[in-house]
A and B are shown apart, each in its own frame.
Chain A
């Protein structure tokens, strides 16, 4: 363990995408960095779908493709609106995604985070695992000056603490820097890893080589709750999961693993995972409250990045790229201050927020700030509409001797009955206003 009175330029709490991005950025610039991780190895406590967004990582490690553990690059995205027996799909598949430097990859987080952490070590960062940070250390004026851990020994001191502790964020909460999460603002996701031979994955999903497919699903699969399901293809496995807002889950009395199993048994999903061997079952919270649920992200001697800062774009299912980018920008801000010999005060660390505002991170967070409340108050968007779509499609496609004009009026009548024209227009307007 590091000697007790050694002082660091920065301490990073957590070794996920945000923490690794921050630690790498600072260590590479020559800062003395200590990173603390509670798991046995980096990644052992981390959960994600998982999609890696190349752009965010390229800005940190440009040649990551040379040795990062990547599963498949995504060439096809399917969005499925599901009722109990059907799905209405919107698919986009393009040969253009088979490019020299693909844009998105599926990854397995436990392996990927371990690789990312090895880069932090190569850059000169000290990574200490099996160490849980218990609280922040403050001076008499309330400035953060270090951390306490569950290991023996005194406080570990640094000029700045980067909190990349993940969604649960106990360290910041218990130090009074941010509030406890609200059940309305977090989703509980459960996921399983289903292993299949590589050629089976490829034939079932119409794939060649390292190409992959991503399915995002919504509709009656979440049984009236606000949430989504997903299925991602890895090299020799499929990640399948479903998540719903915690308050909905608690109210419904539905068990998360039953919800997952029912999703797996859906006639559109079951054949895709038939005969697979399940090797892991995981659960994780996703901060989905959006911009309005974000805590303060900097102060005297501290910054927050990633899930702990509530940086998730739930609409686009993006999170790890916001985590990496916020971690990188936090690291770059600290390096910039160090070079100018400026202290890590709240006034100076405001630069981190400014850089986030200038990036896609806070621009996207702001853009969708009204969406969480919209979905919360209008669950029909995720339940009624997929069912309606399915009804329309089936009426239209079934050839049964009825005239097409009769079918059209049948469709029109059923839509009016299910939602009404005023309801349709109101939903459309509400959605457009929130989206804008």
Chain B
């Protein structure tokens, strides 16, 4: 079971989203070195929205976000994540929930 490597893209492909182009509802503040909390989001985000770039900084692409709020809670103390709800009507649209 340790070799398990889920294709998260395939999971998210089942979901419906209305992306608010050019207006991401979550932003990572500019940083030189990410805190351990921010870094942990690369694994903890259930939609795999966070990744580490070549300079070791953490970036987000929020298109697959399910608006759970985990990243905001994890980084509440460090203040590195700016989290808002998408505009009304945008974002994830659960068919079943």
A residues apposed to B, CB below 8 Å: 38-40, 43-48, 50, 84, 108-111, 113, 129-132, 149-151, 167-168, 170, 180-183, 186, 188, 190, 192-193, 237, 246, 249-251, 253-258, 260-262, 265, 278-285
**Contact residues in B for A108 (Cβ distance below 8 Å):** 96-97
A47 CA to B68 CA in the complex, in Å? 9
Cross-chain contact A180 with B11 (CB below 8 angstroms): no
Give the residues in chain B near A278, CB-CB below 8 Å: 11, 14
Q: Can you give 10 A-B contacts (C-beta < 8 A)?
A: A38-B86, A39-B89, A108-B96, A108-B97, A110-B94, A170-B83, A182-B73, A255-B6, A255-B8, A258-B5
Task: Give the nearest-CB partner of A239 in chain B.
Answer: B96
Q: Which residue of chain B has the shortest Cβ distance to A179 in the bound complex? A: B76
Q: In angstroms, how far is the closest chain B Cβ from the Cβ of A2?
A: 14
Nearest A residue to B5 via CB reads A258
The answer to whether B66 and A283 have CB atoms under 8 Å apart is yes
Among A113, A251, A258, A278, chain B packs the most CB atoms within 10 A around the CB of A258
Chain B contact residues: helix, strand, loop or mixed: loop
How far, in angstroms, from A257 to B95 measured CA to CA in the complex?
19
Complex Cα distance, B4 from A43, in Å, reads 33
Judge whether A150 and B11 touch: CB under 8 Å. no
Question: A132-B87, A180-B76, A278-B14 are known contacts. Are A283 and B94 too (CB-CB below 8 A)?
Answer: no
Shortest Cβ distance from residue B97 to the other chain A in the assembled complex, whole angstroms: 4
Decide if B92 touches A45 in the complex (CB within 8 Å).
yes
Chain A nearest CB: distance from B81 CB in Å? Answer: 11
The answer to whether A283 and B46 touch (CB under 8 A), given A132-B88, A182-B73, is yes
Contact of B4 with A258 in the complex, beta carbons under 8 Å: yes
Across the interface, A265 reaches (CB within 8 A) one of B1, B5, B48, B96, namely B1
Q: Contacts A129-B88, A254-B43, A262-B1 hold; do A285 and B14 have CB atoms under 8 A apart?
A: no
Chain B, Cβ-Cβ closest to A250:
B40
- List the A side residues contacting B1 at CB < 8 Å: 84, 262, 265
- Contacts A188-B68, A253-B40; A183 near B73 (Cβ below 8 A): yes
Which of B11, B47, B87, B89 has a CB less than 8 Å from the CB of A192?
A: B11
Q: Which of A111, A262, A281 contacts B12 (CB 8 A)?
A: A281
For the complex, give the distance between the alpha carbons of A151 and B88 in Å: 8
What 9 A-B pairs are tightest by C-beta distance, nearest first?
Answer: A130-B89, A283-B46, A109-B97, A130-B88, A281-B11, A110-B97, A250-B40, A256-B46, A168-B69
Question: Given A193-B96, A250-B44: A285 and B68 within 8 A (CB)?
Answer: yes
Q: How far is the CA of A40 from the CA of B76 in the complex (A)?
A: 28
Size of chain B's interface in residues, with CB distance under 8 A? Answer: 41
Which residues in B have their C-beta under 8 angstroms from that of A237? 96
Report the Cα distance A365→B54, complex, angstroms.
Answer: 47
A279-B14 contact, Cβ under 8 Å, with A188-B70, A254-B43, A255-B6: yes
From A234, which residue of chain B is reached at the shortest CB distance?
A: B96
Which A residues are in CB contact (< 8 Å) with B18? 40
Interface string of B72-94 (1 = CB under 8 A from A): 11101000000111111101111
Q: How far is the CA of A283 from the CA of B41 in the complex (A)?
A: 14
Does A285 contact B73, Cβ atoms closer than 8 Å?
yes
Residues of A within 8 A of B63 (CB): none
Say which residue of B15, B48, B73, B93 sits within 8 Å of A246 (CB atoms): B73
**Residue contact A39 to B93, C-beta cutoff 8 Å:** yes
Complex contacts, A285 vs chain B, CB 8 Å = 68-70, 73
Q: Other than A253-B43, A283-B66, give 18 A-B pairs with Cβ distance below 8 A.
A: A44-B93, A44-B97, A113-B97, A132-B86, A149-B88, A151-B88, A168-B85, A246-B44, A246-B74, A249-B70, A257-B6, A257-B48, A281-B11, A281-B12, A281-B14, A281-B15, A283-B46, A285-B73
Which of B46, B48, B86 is packed against the most chain A CB atoms within 10 Å?
B46
Contact among B88, B89, B96 for A280, CB-based, below 8 A: B96
| B6–chain A nearest beta-carbon distance, Å | 5
| Complex Cα spacing A255 to B40, Å | 10
The answer to whether A38 and B96 touch (CB under 8 A), given A168-B69, A255-B43, A281-B14, is: no
A251 and B88 contact, CB distance less than 8 A = no
